Amino acid sequence: AQSVTQPDIHITVSEGASLELRCNYSYGATPYLFWYVQSPGQGLQLLLKYFSGDTLVQGIKGFEAEFKRSQSSFNLRKPSVHWSDAAEYFCAVGASNTDKLIFGTGTRLQVFP
């Protein structure tokens, strides 16, 4: 069965520290991978996406993610976190042979000054 796992429900980091949010997927076809961010009471904003090519993709707000096929992972990183990055982050996976995205359950990021 297709699935997306975000192992960390809640992460706390200090402002200025580096960040890595984990995402693992199980998918039979070649996956298309996405990271979204959601501020409280708001909709989801697309941070970045991977379809093919270079496995390191750059997104908005200084985020990047690396696709590792051997590990079935698509982890999100940021070298220096800002207080405004506090939000919930969702990983999602799709494919060319499906018309739906599968979302992980999210990771809530808290940033301390």
Instruction: By CB under 8 A, name the binding residues for other proteins.
Output: 9, 32, 34, 36, 41-46, 49, 51, 90, 92, 94-101, 103-106
**Which residue, 67 or 90, has its beta carbon nearer to other proteins?**
90
Q: How far is the CB of 54 from other proteins (least distance, A)?
A: 15
Structure tokens at 7: 């192992």
In terms of CB distance, is 51 or 83 closer to other proteins?
51
Shortest distance, CB of residue 105 to other proteins, whole angstroms?
Answer: 4
Tell me, what amino acid is at 17?
A
In the block, residue with structure tokens 């402002």: 15
Nearer to other proteins, 13 or 95 (CB): 95
Closest CA to 56 of 40, 36, 76: 76
Task: Output the smallest distance, CB 15 to other proteins, in A.
Answer: 26
Which of residues 52 and 70 has its CB atom nearest to other proteins in the complex?
52
Nearest approach in angstroms of CB 88 to other proteins is 9
Q: Are 33 and 102 in contact (CB under 8 A)?
A: no
d(CA 112, CA 75): 22
In order of 14, 41, 53, 58, 59, the CA distances from 46 in angstroms are 24, 16, 19, 12, 9
